[in-house]
Amino acid sequence: MSQTDSILNLLNIQDPNIKISACTDFSQAGVHEKLLSATLTYPVERCVNCGSTNLVQNGTRLTKMRLPSLGEQPLRMNLRKQRYLCRTCHHTFSAQTQLAPPRHSITRQAVHEIATLAKNSLPVKTISQAVGISASSVQRILYKDQRALVTPKELPTALSFDEFRSTKNCFSFICIDAKTHDLVALLPDRLSQTIREYFTNTYTLSERQKVQLVTMDLNAQYQTFVRRLFPNALIVFDRFHIVQLAGRALDHERLRVLKGINDHHDRNYKVLKSNWRLFHLAENQLETSQVKYYRGLNEYTTAQNVVDLGLKNFPQFAENYQTYQTILTFIRNRDRATLQQLVMNYRPNGTEMDTVMRTIQKNYLGIRNACLYDYSNGPLEGINRKIKELKRSCYGFSNLRHFFIRIKLIHA
């Protein structure tokens, strides 16, 4: 393999008509670049305008091609394209290459590299430095002729609803296919009217009737219009949010007990203060035989003994703990009988757990469906985490359209 072929292979240039003649170092505005000198020529039999065979070569035209950076050093190519003149129609044209689109100087490899880096949630300035192309050119490549909204032709049978914080401290609505996790909708706000208008104006009633299931968190706003938009859909509440709601109520009661203990050296205070994570574990996950040193308590004991000590002298906190454990049980085991028994036998005690139980009673059917179906908002929460990482790495977005296009890129 010749040196020229090795350079072309290294740069992933597949056009055999490009011949490299020199490779030099070039400095411009304090930036050191690699400069390739190359020619593009091949025999042409007919005029592209009139089809005549009366053609002659008519000099060359210099095109400054922009290739992806090689390491940290920008790479440029001065490509001299052969010009042709038709003596019949006097039309002139240049040799063409698949390295870049016609009348473009940024190569397809550079465009592909920009798209790849954008999928990794990198900001425009960082992509510009990595590829060796100006930030304005990177923005043009990423955002030109791109649609911000998502409008699939058909609605899937299972949907997932949620929202995320977008530009100007506002919340936007996001919807995905609960099975394939493909984007179904990205809306600028989460208002009920906006969501209703999107689905009613985009899809007919017969198409919306195909939706059989919608997963969501415990947001009461979505429940008001889901049944009207999707008459045949079942509402399935996300299991994580149910456990999270109960866990917050348990922590609220634990903090109330802590504030009532004046002696901060008391064993009960140390248990509830330093070892609070043990109270969020399922009972069958607590170690009953293996002794371990607990730093806050400064004792060697088992996890079960630590929990028993925290519950022993606080009956109201113990009641909330048992309710929390019951919620964990029916969520993890998908036990509808345990759910029904909890709703029927729960007695209010004036704590935050009463609010949790009222929420469960109010949304009983949706929570029961969560025990029947495997769908959840977990995949959508994963997408929201990627969106947060995108905002953090790009230091936020002021343009909502650009933000939505970047979301589509990282989700592709």
Contact status, residue 176 vs residue 160, Cβ threshold 8 Å? yes
Alpha-carbon gap, residue 203 to 155, rounded angstroms: 8
Alpha-carbon gap, residue 225 to 204, rounded angstroms: 16
- Confidence at 188, pLDDT banded by 50, 70, 90: very high
Q: pLDDT for 5-25, tens place per residue?
A: 677 777 778 888 888 888 888
Of how many residues is the chain composed? 412
Q: pLDDT for 76-129, tens place per residue?
A: 889 999 999 999 998 998 888 888 888 888 888 899 999 999 999 999 999 998
Alpha-carbon gap, residue 77 to 99, rounded angstroms: 11
Instruction: Give the global pTM.
Output: 0.83
| Residue 388: how many other CB atoms lie within 10 Å | 13
**pLDDT above 90: residue 303:** yes
Q: Which of 58, 67, 178, 184 is nearest to 114 (CA)?
A: 67
What is the residue-wise DSSP string for 196-214? Answer: HHHHHHHS-HHHHTT--EE
Exposure string over 21-58, b if 16+ CB within 10 A, otherwise e: eeeeeeeeeeeebbbbbbbbbeeeeebeeeeeeebeee
